[in-house]
Amino acid sequence: MTEQALSGLLVVELGTRLAAAISGNLLMQLGATVVSIETDGDAARYDLKGSHRPVMAAGKLSFAPRAGVIEDERMLAGLIERSDLVLTSSDVDTPLFRKVLEAAKNTIVCDITAFGKVGPLAGEPATEFEIQALTGVSDTTGLADGPPTPILLLIVSYLTGVYSTIGALSALYAREQQGVVQNLDVSLFDCGFISLNTFLASTLTDPMAKKTRLGNRHPTVAPWNTYETSDGWVLICAGNQAQWERLCQTMGRPDLAETYRTQGERIRNIVEIDEAIETWTKTLTTAECVDEMIRAVVACGPIAPVEGYPREENLDHRRMIHELLDPQSGRAVFVPGSPMRLSETPWQAPTQIPARDGSRDAITKLIDQLRPQPARTAPAVLKRPLSGIKVIELGQYTTAPLCAKHLAHLGAEVIKIERPGGDESRTWPPHIDGRSITFRLNNADKRSLTLDLTKEADRGVLRELVCQADVLVENMKPGALTKFGLPPARVLELNPRIVYCSISGFGADSLYPTRPAFDTVIQAMSGFMATLSDSRIPLKTGISSSDTTGGIMAAVAILGALNHRERTGRGQHIDMSMQDVTAWLTQTAWNGSKVKAPAVIECSDGYVFAEDFEGSTEPSSLAKHKLADRLRQEGVKAFPVLSLKEATQLPQSLERKIWFYLHSSGFEWPMLDSPLRLEKTPPTVSHIAPEPNSDAAAILQEHGIAFEPEA
């Protein structure tokens, strides 16, 4: 069998939250042996993994300990004692689980809960929809003239599962490097809140900001929307000036490009612009619109349906769909492939879904073969997990910059290499002192170097940096670095220990190698928009779900590869497709599964979500907090839908300090904290993003590079 990144690692998935199962899935895909602990209490109330068992159990071992049976308790305790990592969800887990956790004295424990261990809501259970409502996620999702929309794909649980995996892999890396064993606190609330960074840029800087739902628009980039065609819908996203000009030329409206020259002007006049675009798209079929946009090299895409699984040719090409027999139902079901393609340690697709409690013999052998985790001695002074790791980022927009930002918070030195003129997102509104707030939220704790890779001298500098780096992460167009003389094979030839992660819309191995792709296009072409809600109109999330999850999934893959490198000395290439990642997010909607949406009730000052509610959903004259209180007194799980401004002022947000301000250059810049609360080696956010090329002299000197820019 091919060696995998986490071969030999034992994970006990004790937690019953969906986010714990998602983290277990990712660790399994990286090669860990994952034992899923199942109970009779697994049900939908708190998004528990039993509700989606076929896709959550595939590839794992299953153990269902019987309450009150001493033999089973001892077996579970022995398993935990030997594990490298335990995933828990203490706010909803059973007393048995809390009891056997005493065996985890030398084991890393990652606790995934609704609100975390700090704050007035610490330890309180909450459903996915309650978290969506309280963080502002719901208030930013839905049509501009409609109510907030519950996201049926349980996006916050997925984000939390991915973030938990980043935290777990960081803790494992710190254990191997520093001998430290620690616990990790990850909350759905934090992960949902920080995912709204594009909205928070204005919410945290403008006291008068009143963000409303944008439908399928983008808060800082325009045009970016779903447009009706003669036979359906098409996504068109002009993410930069060149694409905007080419779109206008294709429509026969060059006057629009002349009239609205900047992002700010386009945002302010988006209604008129959208009307002009839709007047054009309605004259064409969806396929014709896509063809026109492909020729113009403008990001676009149709809406992929989910019929059993997402029906899209590139997903089939990349083998993201697998079919297995479900022993519980006796029928064939579809399960996702891995969105992490690692060249040296490829994922081995699962061959079966285990029967419930069907792995007792295998688990008994594990316990017999493995010794309990030894006690480890940590140094007196601990460093952040990735201290000493050097990351080269060739990133723009969101995915690679977000990935590298989280690596920086965990202690890595990140050198952001920008082309002359800088990352396009430096222009995105809103601004402080002419500088983009969004850019600074996505690029904190980095250093900046400008290189023009069309010039040989600059390419030489990049090669020198690659030779001395641990990680290279980029989201350039597929093949762009190859044109500059750095295909993956050459990068690894220069530095066999480097972990090189390429992030693209459709993957390096793709049916669409030249097509530009932005977040909403990927949401459309992965099946995500088709299954997000019950709306007739396909909807995206207010969260940039494809960008965000693509970036943090890349961090998971990089950390898995770094753990493997420490064991073997070998680096590798990672081919990360945003479409793969986003299709993977839809797995709870596969095989005919459907999550029941809460009722949405309009109030005098907003909306309330009510779960399992059979009463009237007619508009109420009560304020949302009063209606939610009344419904709770009647035994209904109800909660107000908060605006993002309200979410920033919740005592839970303030006490956990998930957002704060950094003072720089005479201004207060909003910052978002890391959602990873590592007990002994916590990540930190220390400085805002640098100005272009501001660290060039120091970087070149530190790396011993003599550089004379070409004229």
Q: Which of 43-52, 194-203, 502-511 has the lowest mean pLDDT?
A: 43-52
N residues, the chain: 711
Which of 63, 125, 73, 71 is CA-nearest to residue 99?
A: 73
Burial 603-639 (b: 16+ CB within 10 A, else e): beebbbbbbebeeeeeebebebebbbbebeeeebbbb
Q: Which of 326, 445, 470, 547 is catalytic?
A: 547
**Which amino acid, one-letter code, is at 386?**
L
Are 304 and 524 within 8 A, CB to CB?
yes
How big, in percent rounded to 5, are the helix, strand and coil portions of the chain?
Answer: 40, 20, 45
Are 572 and 499 within 8 A, CB to CB?
yes
Q: Which two tokens stand for residue 506?
A: 């459709």
Beta carbons within 10 angstroms of residue 556's beta carbon: 28
Q: Is 379 exposed, middle or buried (0-12, 13-18, 19+ CB in 10 A)?
A: exposed
The predicted-structure confidence for 178-190, as pLDDT tens digits, reads as follows 999 999 999 999 9
Which of 6, 41, 5 is CA-nearest to residue 15?
A: 41
Q: Could you tell me the pTM of the whole model?
A: 0.95
pLDDT given for residue 513 in this prediction: 87
What confidence tier does 608 reach under pLDDT thresholds 50, 70, 90? very high
Distance CA(138)–CA(157), nearest Å, equals: 14
The predicted-structure confidence for 628-643, as pLDDT tens digits, reads as follows 999 999 999 999 999 9
Mean pLDDT of 643-669: 95
pLDDT given for residue 1 in this prediction: 53
Distance CA(167)–CA(683), nearest Å, equals: 10
Mean pLDDT of 27-48: 84
The predicted-structure confidence for 541-554, as pLDDT tens digits, reads as follows 999 999 999 999 99
pLDDT given for residue 711 in this prediction: 63
Are 136 and 642 within 8 A, CB to CB?
yes
Helix (H) or strand (E) holding 609: strand 606-611
pLDDT given for residue 211 in this prediction: 62
Cα-Cα-Cα-Cα torsion 191, 577, 476, 266, nearest 10 degrees, comes to: -60
CA dihedral over 35, 36, 37, 40, signed as positive or negative: negative
Cα-Cα-Cα-Cα torsion 4, 319, 486, 451, nearest 10 degrees, comes to: -100
pLDDT given for residue 573 in this prediction: 98
Paired with 474 in beta bridges are 394, 502
Tally of CA atoms within 13 A in the half-sphere of 501 that contains its CB = 32
Mean pLDDT of 524-539: 89
Which of 98, 105, 115 is CA-nearest to residue 183?
A: 105
What confidence tier does 81 reach under pLDDT thresholds 50, 70, 90? very high
Are 113 and 188 within 8 A, CB to CB?
yes
Residue 452 annotated as catalytic: no
The predicted-structure confidence for 378-437, as pLDDT tens digits, reads as follows 999 999 999 999 999 999 999 999 999 999 999 999 999 999 999 989 988 889 999 999
Domains, the chain, ordered by start: 390-584+679-702 (3.40.50.10540), 598-648 (no CATH)
The predicted-structure confidence for 257-287, as pLDDT tens digits, reads as follows 999 999 889 999 999 999 999 999 999 999 9
Mean pLDDT of 144-154: 93
The predicted-structure confidence for 318-371, as pLDDT tens digits, reads as follows 999 999 999 999 999 999 999 999 999 999 999 999 999 999 999 999 999 999
% of the chain at pLDDT higher than 70: 99
Paired with 86 in beta bridges are 12, 109
% of the chain at pLDDT higher than 90: 86
Distance CA(201)–CA(220), nearest Å, equals: 10
What confidence tier does 516 reach under pLDDT thresholds 50, 70, 90? confident
Mean pLDDT of 69-89: 96
Distance CA(473)–CA(573), nearest Å, equals: 10
